[in-house]
Amino acid sequence: MLDIKFVRENPDKVKENIKKKFQDQKLPLVDEVIELDEKVRSLKLEGDTLRSEKNTASSNIGLMMREGKKEEAEKAKERVKEINDRLAVLEKEEAEMGAILKAKMMVIPNIIDDSVPVGKDDSENVEIEKFGEPVVPDFEVPYHADILDSISGLDKDSAGRTSGNGFYYLMGDAARIHSAMLSYARDFMINKGFTYCIPPFMIRSDVVNGVMSFAEMEAMMYKIEGEDLYLIGTSEHSMIGRFKGQIVDEAKLPITLTSYSPCFRKEVGAHGIEERGVYRVHQFEKQEMVVLCKPEESMDWYNKMWSYTVEFFRSLDIPVRTLECCSGDLADLKVKSCDVEAWSPRQQKYFEVGSCSTLGDAQSRRLGIRTKGEKGTYLVHTLNNTVLASPRGLIAFLENNVQKDGSIKIPEALRPYMGGIEVIKPTKA
């Protein structure tokens, strides 16, 4: 959410930003919020003026009574009553208009960074850099569901009976690789100086509204029936929510956290849920990184964070590339974002395995996360990035480490988490 003062003083810049995001239907909101803001401030000014008058009149009543000016005191009492009646009306109007103003403000997108390429959707995202050679082997790489089946590692039929489409059982060595990758991702980030955390997997609606837009919430979040609780779609939600309403000690910035959680998503949209594989599912597990920092440090942290994900995947012999998200592909709260994509030797193209974003002070403004230092009190900047989301990361691992004979090579970095195993051989022909 933007600062209303910024909108008031920079309406043209806010409108131009909306155009860059191809959300022209939101252009009228700028003038609407400026008009509402003027009315709210006018109501507040009138209320403050009346409260001052009321305080003066109230303090004079006792003096008038002592001086025997009973008639004047009664008039003052009448005026105080009139003021109280008017204040009740003003306070109600101010609260109602303030709520409307906030609701409209929360729909106006954050100001994107000048470096973000302008484009309508993800088809116009821009490749930044490749890391590792995208090898196409001299044999046909099986579909990841078939690789998992060859080691007796995937059971979607049973999951369909227990939970429906979009769920899965990982079994045996497949489950072990999955857990090993997450454990390695955890230790990888701890070695980068991040503090490990396991957060709540459900959060209240005020936290949801603080960390994401309403449109995102509707498309992603599962609500717990009869409770003010939502299942998290990523641990970033509860990790940022941890600081809601807090004044963080400036000396403790930057706060660098890495968190594990299961994640739950509706996956509403045209892409649908995968019937056979586990690329797009309702439930997965994730190692995340979250940073709270000073505004002047956020872009440096942004670049560090995506580079950590690149380093992680390269340590597992997986070629990756970074992709700059264009303006139309950015969620409303984001200032800048890039995707890390892994090479698929089967499809001979890259696919998304992680996303890194800086949100400026949008989340901290919504949630009231501040810090206090020599320059006074100000809002912190928040960033988040995927270290590993599995089973999507598992797919990248399998495709890039499956051998011609169907065996799966375990890279050196992962072997300590696999009991020293170097190769997993298929159990089925």
How high is the mean pLDDT of the chain? Answer: 94
pLDDT of residue 110: 96
Query: Distance between CA 108 and CA 120 in Å, rounded?
Result: 17
**Phi–psi pair at 299, nearest 5 degrees:** -70, -35
- What digits encode the pLDDT tens for the residues 10-66? 999 999 999 999 999 999 999 999 999 999 999 999 999 999 999 888 888 878 888
The answer to whether the peptide bond before residue 200 is cis (omega within 30 degrees of 0) is no
What lies within 8 Å, CB to CB, of 410 at 6+ separation is: 177, 401, 418, 421, 422, 423, 424
**240 has pLDDT over 90:** yes
Query: Distance between CA 31 and CA 54 in Å, rounded?
Result: 35
DSSP characters for 164-215? -TT--EE-HHHHHHHHHHHHHHHHHHHTTTPEEE---SEE-HHHHHHHS-HH
Query: Distance between CA 203 and CA 428 in Å, rounded?
Result: 43
Query: Distance between CA 89 and CA 51 in Å, rounded?
Result: 13
Domains, in order of start, for the chain:
4-105 (1.10.287.40), 122-424 (3.30.930.10)
pLDDT bin (cut points 50, 70, 90) of residue 276 is confident
Query: In terms of C-beta density within 10 A (0-12 exposed, 13-18 middle, 19 or more buried), how is residue 35 classed?
Result: exposed
Query: Distance between CA 312 and CA 183 in Å, rounded?
Result: 12
196-215 mean pLDDT = 92
What lies within 8 Å, CB to CB, of 287 at 6+ separation is: 182, 185, 186, 189, 258, 259, 260, 386, 387, 388
Query: Distance between CA 248 and CA 373 in Å, rounded?
Result: 10
Please name the residue that has the structure tokens 């920079």. Answer: 10
What's the whole-model pTM score?
A: 0.90
- The length of the chain, given as a count of residues: 429
**271 has pLDDT over 80:** no
347-362 mean pLDDT = 96
Please name the residue that has the structure tokens 């403790």. Answer: 252
Bridge partners (DSSP) listed for residue 195: 257
Helix (H, G, I), strand (E, B) or coil at 293: strand
Q: What is the CA radius of gyration of the chain?
A: 28
Helix (H, G, I), strand (E, B) or coil at 260: strand
**269 has pLDDT over 60:** no
Count of Cβ atoms closer than 10 Å to residue 101 Cβ: 20
CA-based angle 191:197:200, to the nearest 5?
160
pLDDT of residue 34: 97
